[in-house]
Amino acid sequence: MDCKIPRIYPLNNPIYPRLRWAPFKGKLRFVIDSNLKQLPPYKISAQNNRLEVLLPLEKPSLPLIAVKAIDFEQISPQKCRLVISSEGELQYEVSHPKLHTMLLQLDNVKMPSYLLRELETKHFPCGIEQILPYSISKNKVGIEIKLKERIPFKIVTTEEHLYLTFTTSGKRVKEAKKEELKPEVSKKAEPKEEKPQEVVEAALSVKPAFVSPFAQKLPTETQIIFPGRMAVFTGQPISLDFQDADIKNVFRILAEVSGFNFVVSEGVKGKVTLKLDNVPWDQALDLILQTYSLGIVKRGNVLRILTLEDLKKEQERLIQTQQALEKKKEAEPLITEEIQVNYVKAADLIKQLKDIKTNRGKLTYDEMTNRIIMTDVKTALKKARDLVRSLDIAPRQVMIEGRIVEVSTEYTKDLGIQWGQHFSHTMTETSNIIETRGGAGGGDKFEFEMGDREWKGNIPLIVNLPPEGAYGGLGFTLAHLGRAYTLILDAKLQAMESEGKVKILSVPKVVTMDNQPALISQGLQIPYRTTSEAGTYTQFQEAVLKLEVTPHITPDKKVRLELNLHKDSPGIRQEGMDAIPIEKKEVKTTLLVDNEETVVIGGIITETKESKESRVPFFSRVPLFGLLFQNKMRGIAKRELLMFITPRVIAQKASIQENSFIKSAY
């Protein structure tokens, strides 16, 4: 045999596919490949210059895992769970043989025949129509789950349980709550002589019309129910007629009708004779509990039926368990942590943290360093840290950009024409249309191009402040300029200023946080003298234009603006009065605008007396005849103040927030 190169010899066996050999450090190594995770017991022997290796040809049989129970429960309004209890960790495979059908296959299991029954789940608001366990082979079980729609699921296995959790949308839960399902009242059972077992089998064939609301309100924690304490009965009406029937068989009927899982203890025994007509099932259950001195331990949708004696012992055990947990918490060491708050005030978080701390805990804050100081057990401190992380977030900011413009009323209409374009801006790639319309109709047609953008249409007036009709009342006018026109607003204003039609007074800018007011103020202080017994001295009176803006960023990235505008202007001094009267105008409003959309406030008009005189040189000085070469004009110049307010949401930079914690235990 030539052993200088590796050799492979196929064995044509599904468990041991091939044999390999090759030289290794002066020796010859043989390797038998196997598809098993772990080799079974084998035997090696040497006889008559031969080396024999004996391997079993069948896979070693693993011990079967017994399945003890299959339950279906609702753990929250949007979550339902299939729970499979077993004596070991289950091996499973998930497949989807059909649309809206899920198959959960359990391998190497042993399941009793009474668990191979259909679970009615269509009345749970979880989108599951039916769950049907069935036997595939001797050691394989399939669980077919019929879904109303494709819903997400999650599988978690432990040593004794397999949890299959389904999560549905909130919409289905709301629809399930709105359904009004009328219970199907079973017909009155006619008295006839039947064996108790026959009556039970006939009752088990009836499907429940709906899951009782009483079952849906079950808490997940353990709760003890004594008989005669149910105030309201909301179960499906049923009719029962038994004579000397086994009480356990009666509970089987109630389990099928109610949708509960019943577990009856060994101490519950006896015969039941009753006749009920159109009675809610939970009332029938309560009557049986009272008659036979029984009680219930409730956890989820599982009801354990016990005698009152056993129930009292159960109650004492739960109380002792609760007391032990409380004592354990009291025995935990107290830990002091300093939680650094970055963006909000630490004092504002104290109220929320008070609901988290235990009776032994202490809570305070340091205003200088903006830290929360908390002394409590470990679990309470963890909840406090999580709450601070969720609430201590960087606030968004808004830049408020203003433009204060003064324009003569002679050009107000022209200005309105210039600002009244109807833009129809079509983006070539995304085909989005941006439209900005004016506040009044009429006007000429126009076309305007800038690069790959094109504006065209009529010219309605967006700032329609005509000179002859803007003097009644306060005279304020509000309008919007779309985001598309805001981009070229400054160019338009500067062009009109160069023509002498517009005077730009100021362009203030201020940055403020979300829901925090920003103030833009401009004006003067008017001096005046007052005389008193102490003498004569000078005082000042303010006449300002003040704009207060409070922005709020909505979830859909719009900006709500709360505007408060004050306009003070000096009046005419009255005889006998030292102080100058101040004319005040004020407007308050709330607007919802898009990001970078401009709000226009107009209608603030001032009047100034003007006197003009023009002369012709030399001829105007000729006596008598010079008056013919002179011209004197007196009038009132009216100018209008316009304010442009543009909010711009400042984009936040991506950052990772970290809260520092300083611990000390004692």
CA triple 71-76-77, angle to 5 deg: 115
- Summary mean pLDDT of the chain: 73
Q: Is residue 379 over pLDDT 70? A: yes
Q: Which is higher by pLDDT, 638 or 83?
A: 83
Q: Compute the distance between CA of residue 111 and CA of residue 135 in angstroms, rounded to an integer.
A: 8
Q: Compute the distance between CA of residue 545 and CA of residue 604 in angstroms, rounded to an integer.
A: 10
Domains and CATH numbers, the chain: 7-54 (no CATH), 65-172 (2.60.40.3500), 196-327 (3.55.50.30), 332-391 (3.30.1370.120), 400-410+467-650 (no CATH)
CB 382 within 8 A of CB 649: no
> What is the DSSP annotation of 68-82?
EEEEEEEEETTEEEE
Average of pLDDT values for 427-446?
Answer: 36
Kindly report, residue by residue over 270-310, the tens digit of the pLDDT.
888 888 888 888 888 888 888 888 888 888 888 889 888 88
Average of pLDDT values for 334-354?
Answer: 89
Q: Is residue 484 over pLDDT 50? A: yes
Q: Is residue 193 over pLDDT 50? A: no
- Sign for the CA dihedral angle at 190, 192, 195, 196 comes to positive
CB 518 within 8 A of CB 639: no
Tell me which residue has tokens 């019929």. Answer: 146
Q: In the 8-state DSSP scheme, what is residue 3? A: -
Q: Is residue 632 over pLDDT 80? A: no
Q: Compute the distance between CA of residue 273 and CA of residue 241 in angstroms, rounded to an integer.
A: 8
User: What burial class does residue 150 get, using C-beta atoms within 10 Å of its C-beta: 0-12 exposed, 13-18 middle, 19+ buried?
Assistant: exposed
Which amino acid, residue 286? D
Instruction: Name residue 143's beta-bridge partners.
Output: 104, 133
Residue 490 pLDDT level (bands cut at 50, 70, 90): low
Residue 16 pLDDT = 80
CB 488 within 8 A of CB 507: no
Q: Compute the distance between CA of residue 641 and CA of residue 568 in angstroms, rounded to an integer.
A: 12
In 10 A of CB 199, how many CB atoms? Answer: 20
Instruction: Name residue 521's beta-bridge partners.
Output: 546
Element (H, E) at 414: helix 412-419
Kindly report, residue by residue over 392-411, the tens digit of the pLDDT.
888 889 998 888 888 876 65
Tell me which residue has tokens 């988290």. Answer: 356
Question: How remote is the C-alpha of 346 from its chain's centroid?
Answer: 25
Residue 182 pLDDT level (bands cut at 50, 70, 90): very low
Q: Is residue 5 over pLDDT 80? A: no
Q: In the 8-state DSSP scheme, what is residue 252? A: H
Residue 143 pLDDT = 92
* Residues above pLDDT 90, as percent of the chain: 4
> What is the DSSP annotation of 168-220?
--HHHHHHHHH--PPPPPPPPPPP----HHHHHHHHHTSPPSS--HHHHT--S
Residue 201 pLDDT = 37
Question: How remote is the C-alpha of 228 from its chain's centroid?
Answer: 42
Q: Which residues contact 319 (CB under 8 A, 6 or more apart)?
A: none
Instruction: Name residue 162's beta-bridge partners.
Output: 84, 157
Q: Is residue 590 over pLDDT 50? A: yes
- HSE at residue 501, side-chain half, CA atoms within 13 A, is 15
- Sign for the CA dihedral angle at 324, 326, 330, 332 comes to positive
What are the φ/ψ torsions at residue 154 (nearest 5 degrees)? -145, 135
Q: Compute the distance between CA of residue 188 and CA of residue 538 in angstroms, rounded to an integer.
A: 102
Q: Compute the distance between CA of residue 420 and CA of residue 40 in angstroms, rounded to an integer.
A: 89
Kindly report, residue by residue over 533-542, the tens digit of the pLDDT.
777 778 887 8
Residue 489 pLDDT = 67
Residue 500 pLDDT = 72
Q: Picking from 44-48, 238-242, 477-481, which range would have the lowest pLDDT averaged per residue? A: 477-481
From the list 433, 551, 425, the residue with the least C-alpha distance to 485 is 425
Kindly report, residue by residue over 407-432, the tens digit of the pLDDT.
876 655 444 434 443 333 333 333 33
Q: pTM here?
A: 0.41
Residue 6 pLDDT level (bands cut at 50, 70, 90): low
CB 542 within 8 A of CB 579: no
- Sign for the CA dihedral angle at 245, 250, 251, 252 comes to positive
Q: How many DSSP H helices and E strands does the chain contain?
A: 11, 39
Angle at which helix 346-354 crosses helix 378-391, to 10 degrees, equals 130
Residue 231 pLDDT = 59
Residue 190 pLDDT = 39
Residue 550 pLDDT = 92
Element (H, E) at 491: helix 489-498
Residue 127 pLDDT = 79
* Residues above pLDDT 70, as percent of the chain: 73
CB 558 within 8 A of CB 571: no
Q: Is residue 196 over pLDDT 70? A: no
